[in-house]
Structure 1
Amino acid sequence: MRRRHLTETWLVLGVSLGSSAIYALLRIVDRLTRPEALSQQTATMNSSVTPDRPWLDVAFQLVGIALALVPVALALHLLRRDDPAEPHTMGFDLRRPFQDLWRGAALAAVIGIPGLGLYLAAKALGLNTTVSAANLVGAAWFTVPILVLAAAQNAVLEETIMIGYLFRRWGQAGWGPWRVIATSALIRGTYHLYQGFGGFVGNVVMGLVFGWFYTRTKRVMPLVLAHTVLDVVAFVGYSLLKPHVGWL
C-alpha cells in the first residue's frame, strides 16, 4: 500500500506540477548559461497567444485555464476512492466562508508583504529575473477577468495538489508531518525556479507556512483564497501599474 501511494503521487505530479518543476530546472540552467546576467532577463507570465485576434485569444486563455485544472479533478477522483467525503475532508469547500476569508486574507498579508521585499532584494543582488506578471493585450476587455481566473486556477491547482492531495497520500505512506511539509515546499519552490532564486526561496517559505497551517487546520480553502489574492494582486496590479512604475 505504501508503495502504491508513493507511485500514485509521482504520477499525479508527473502530469501536473512535477513536470513544471522539471521544466523550471531546465529553464534556470538556460538562464544561467546565457551571456546576460540573470537580473537582466525577464520571466514572462500570462501572455497573449493571438494578440491580433482578441476573440481567439480569449478562447486560448480559457481553454488553458480549464485544462490546467484537470490534474485537480484527477487527484480528487483518486482520493474519493478511499474517502467519498472528499474534497470536504481536506477542507476544499464553502462550509466556513467567513473563517476561511479572514484566515486567507491574513495569510496573504503574511506571505505577500515580505515576498515583495524578497523579490526586490533578490533582483538587486542579481539572483532573480524581472518577473513580467501580465502580458495580455492591454486594451482588451477581457484582460482583468482572465487574470483573475488565472490567479484562481493557480491557487486551486497548487493548493489542492501540493497540500490537500500530497499531504494525505504521503501521510498514508508513513511520512512524518515535517517531511511532508518540507518535500512539498521544495517542489513548490522548484517549479518557480524559472523566475530565479528569489522565486525559489520565496515559494519554499510560502510552502512551509502553508503546510504548517494545513497540519493545524486541515482546511485547504484558506490557502486557496490566500494564493488567489496574492496572484490577483501580482497579475492585475502589474497590468495596471506597469505603464506608470519604472521598477516593475
Structure 2
Amino acid sequence: MAASDRYRRTRLAWEIVLVLLVSVGQSAIYSVVSFVRAATRAPISQQQTQLNPSRSAEPLWDAIYQFLDIFFSLALVALALYLLWEPANNALRRIGLDFRRFGSDLARGLLLVALIGAPGIGVYAIGRAIGQSIAVVPAPLDSSWWVVALLVLAALRAGLTEEVIFLGYLFDRLRRLGWSWTGIIVSTALLRGSYHLYQGWPSALGNVVMGLVFGWCYKRWGRVMPLVVAHTVIDIVAFVGYPLAAAWWPGIFAPPASTPTPTATPSPTA
C-alpha cells in the first residue's frame, strides 16, 4: 500500500472516531454508563429515565434551552454532511436526503413505521412487564402551548441525527475503509443499540433489530430520507403519544410510585 493511501486511510479512521466522539458515539458511551449505574443502584424495574427532560423551571427559558439543544445537535448533522461533501458531488443527493422522490420515500417510511413502530412499543411493554426495562418518563404535554412543537422538532432531530450519521455518514466512510456491507450493517446496528441502552437491554435489543432493518433498507434503496421519515414519525408518536399511554396504562407505561431519582442521561435523544 502506498504511503499516500496509508495516510488517507489513517486520516479517515481518525475522522470517524472524532465525529463519533462528538455525536452518537459520545451518546452511546453515556448510555452504557447510565445503564450500569442504574443496574447497580436498584432493580431495573424501579429505575426511571426521562425523555426530553426540562432544562429550566421557567417555561420560557426551558423552551429556549430546548431549542438551543436541538439546534446544536443538528449542527453535528450538518458537520457530517459537510465532511461528506465533495466537489461536483452533492452529499445530500448521494445519501438520498432530498425531496426528489418524496412520495415513494414517504410511503416507504410509513411502511417502516408499521413494521418497526408497533413491535418497538411491544418490546418496551414486555421489558417493563418482566422488570428489565427502565421506566421512561415522558415530557408533560400541558406545561406550555409550545411543548408539542418542541417535541416534534426533537423527533426530527433524532431522526436526522441517527439516520444521517449511522447510515449516511458511517456507511460511506466504512466502505471507503474496505469494510463489507455485512460488517457495516451489523456494527452500526450494535452502536445504535448501545445508544439506547439507557432504557434497558430490551429497548437496546429492539434498536439493534431496527438498525439491521434500516441498514438493509439503506443499502437496498440508497436513500436515507425514508428512514428519516420513519424514525421521525415513530418518535413523534412516542414523544406525544407516550404521556397519553402513561395515563391510560400506568402499570406498564408510567413509572412506579416509589421510584429513585431519574437517571441523568445527557446524551441519547430517543
- TM > 0.5: yes
Contact 2:193–2:205 (Cα < 8 Å) also in 1: yes
* Per-residue deviation, 1:237: 0.2
* Per-residue deviation, 1:244: 3.6
Q: Which residue pairs with 2:230 in the alignment?
A: 226
Choose which of 52, 57, 60 in structure 1 pairs with 2:62. Answer: 57
For the aligned residue pairs, the C-alpha RMSD in angstroms reads 1.3
CA distance, structure 2, for counterparts of residue 38 and residue 241 of structure 1: 21
* Per-residue deviation, 1:47: 1.5
Q: Which residue pairs with 1:24 in the alignment?
A: 31
> 66-75 or 219-228: which moved more?
66-75
One-letter amino acid of the structure 2 residue matched with residue 39 of structure 1: S
Contact 1:48–1:136 (Cα < 8 Å) also in 2: no
Q: TM-score, normalised on structure 2?
A: 0.87
1:148-168 deviation per Cα after TM superposition (whole angstroms, max 9, x unaligned): 000000000100000000000
1:18-56 deviation per Cα after TM superposition (whole angstroms, max 9, x unaligned): 00111111111101111x2101111111122223x2111
Q: Which residue pairs with 1:142 in the alignment?
A: 146
* Per-residue deviation, 1:2: 2.4
One-letter amino acid of the structure 1 residue matched with residue 13 of structure 2: L
Give the 3 Å change call, closer, same or farther, for CA 193–131 of structure 1 in structure 2: same
* Per-residue deviation, 1:121: 1.3
* Per-residue deviation, 1:3: 2.4
CA distance, structure 2, for counterparts of residue 198 and residue 241 of structure 1: 19
CA distance, structure 1, for counterparts of residue 127 and residue 245 of structure 2: 21
CA distance, structure 1, for counterparts of residue 228 and residue 134 of structure 2: 26
Contact 1:123–1:198 (Cα < 8 Å) also in 2: no
One-letter amino acid of the structure 2 residue matched with residue 216 of structure 1: R
Unmatched segments (≥5 aa) in structure 1: none
For the pair 1:192 / 2:225, whether they are aligned, the reply is: no
Contact 2:188–2:211 (Cα < 8 Å) also in 1: yes
Alignment of 1:170-181 (within 5 A): 170-181=174-185
Give the 3 Å change call, closer, same or farther, for CA 33–27 of structure 1 in structure 2: same
Q: Which residue pairs with 1:10 in the alignment?
A: 17
Contact 2:133–2:199 (Cα < 8 Å) also in 1: yes
Q: Which residue pairs with 1:203 in the alignment?
A: 207
* Per-residue deviation, 1:81: 3.3
Q: Which residue pairs with 2:266 in the alignment?
A: none
1:82-104 deviation per Cα after TM superposition (whole angstroms, max 9, x unaligned): 66311110000111111011100
CA distance, structure 2, for counterparts of residue 147 and residue 204 of structure 1: 24
For the pair 1:39 / 2:83, whether they are aligned, the reply is: no
Contact 1:48–1:137 (Cα < 8 Å) also in 2: no
* Per-residue deviation, 1:204: 0.4
CA distance, structure 2, for counterparts of residue 57 and residue 38 of structure 1: 29
Contact 1:171–1:177 (Cα < 8 Å) also in 2: yes
Q: TM-score, normalised on structure 1?
A: 0.95
For the pair 1:114 / 2:119, whether they are aligned, the reply is: yes
Number of aligned residues: 245
Choose which of 236, 240, 244 in structure 2 pairs with 1:240. Answer: 244
